């Protein structure tokens, strides 16, 4: 009896262990399957993360490409604007160095018989009016076309005040005095403009030759400045000094 019990005990223990192992296997089976699923999910997450990184990099490259395209378009617009400005500058230079439209164009002789009072709406019109007034002795008209520099006007006032009361009354203003003195510098013959320039929006120098005969040609340089809606002949302090010296005559004993 004891022998049988001793034999059954190990057999029972083995059976219990087999049952435990079977139960454990049953419990671990779903866990292993779940673990495999989790591993698959982890691999999928890794793949998705890598894909997201790749797409983000491509998106950055796409944004950079779009920025570069925008920059290139902006550069193209800037080049067009620069070219337009360059062309505009060239056109203005051409207009200012070439003859202005109408009368007194560069290289075209204008006989004194054709000079007219053209007003002062443009530098060319003001030039013709100045010549016409000087040639015809129109002191008042010529005086209206003169504008002094500040220092020149002061010098002209001093010159006017130095004259006799009769001369001051006859000339009346610095502009009329300078007009009267400058008339003799305009020979009656023909005027030919040799060049128009535009140094600023309010200043137009002009060079011309005044001829009183085939062999008597006088080069002259004048500057017309904008004064409101009109153009006037600029009178400098040097011009006033020249006429003042001529008016006062040479000093005593100057011929020795």
Q: What share of the chain has pLDDT > 90, as a percent?
A: 32
Would you state the structure tokens that stand for residue 196, as one six-digit string? 């128009």
Q: Do 181 and 240 form a contact (C-beta atoms < 8 A)?
A: no
In the chain, which residue ranges form alpha helices assigned H by DSSP? 2-97, 123-136, 139-144, 150-161, 165-171, 174-182, 237-248
pLDDT of res. 255? 47
List, run by run, the mean pLDDT of 10-residue segments along the chain (256 residues): 58 65 61 68 77 70 67 69 65 47 81 92 93 92 94 92 88 90 84 89 91 82 93 93 80 51
pLDDT of res. 71? 67
Annotated domain spans of the chain: 1-96, 109-248
Strand partners, 200: 203
Distance of CA 52 to the CA centre of its chain: 50
Residue with tokens 């009354």: 169
CA dihedral 73, 77, 78, 84 (to 10 degrees): 160
Predicted TM-score (pTM) of this structure: 0.58
pLDDT of res. 48? 76
pLDDT of res. 15? 65
Class of the CATH-defined domain 109-248: alpha beta
Query: What is the C-alpha separation between 146 and 138, in angstroms, rounded?
Result: 13
Q: Do 130 and 142 form a contact (C-beta atoms < 8 A)?
A: yes
pLDDT of res. 70? 73
pLDDT of res. 3? 58
Query: What is the C-alpha separation between 132 and 134, in angstroms, rounded?
Result: 6
pLDDT in tens, 79-99: 777 677 666 655 555 444 444
pLDDT of res. 59? 65
Query: What is the C-alpha separation between 206 and 220, in angstroms, rounded?
Result: 8
Can you give the C-alpha Rg of the chain in angstroms? 51
Query: What is the C-alpha separation between 177 and 37, in angstroms, rounded?
Result: 112
């Amino acid at each position: 009896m004891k022998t049988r019990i001793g034999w059954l005990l190990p057999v029972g223990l083995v059976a219990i262990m087999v049952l435990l192992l079977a139960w454990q296997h049953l419990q671990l089976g779903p866990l292993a399957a779940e673990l495999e699923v989790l591993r698959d999910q982890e691999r999928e997450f890794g793949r998705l993360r890598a894909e997201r990184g790749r797409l983000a990099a491509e998106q950055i490259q796409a944004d950079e490409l779009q920025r570069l395209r925008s920059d290139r378009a902006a550069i193209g617009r800037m080049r067009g604007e620069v070219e337009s400005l360059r062309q505009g500058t060239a056109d203005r230079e051409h207009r200012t160095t070439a003859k202005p439209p109408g009368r007194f164009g560069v290289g075209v002789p204008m006989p004194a018989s054709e000079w007219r009072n053209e007003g002062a709406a443009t530098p060319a019109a003001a030039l013709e009016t100045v010549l016409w007034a000087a040639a015809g002795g129109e002191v008042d008209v010529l005086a209206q076309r003169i504008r002094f520099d500040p220092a020149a006007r002061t010098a002209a006032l001093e010159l006017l005040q130095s004259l006799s009361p009769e001369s001051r009354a006859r000339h009346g203003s610095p502009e009329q005095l300078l007009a009267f003195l400058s008339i003799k510098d305009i020979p009656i013959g023909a005027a030919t403009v040799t060049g128009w320039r535009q140094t600023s929006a309010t200043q137009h120098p002009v060079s011309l030759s005044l001829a009183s005969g085939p062999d008597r040609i006088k080069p002259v340089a004048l500057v017309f400045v904008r004064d409101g809606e009109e153009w006037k002949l600029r009178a400098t302090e040097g011009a006033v000094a020249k006429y003042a010296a001529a008016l006062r005559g040479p000093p005593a004993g100057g011929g020795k």
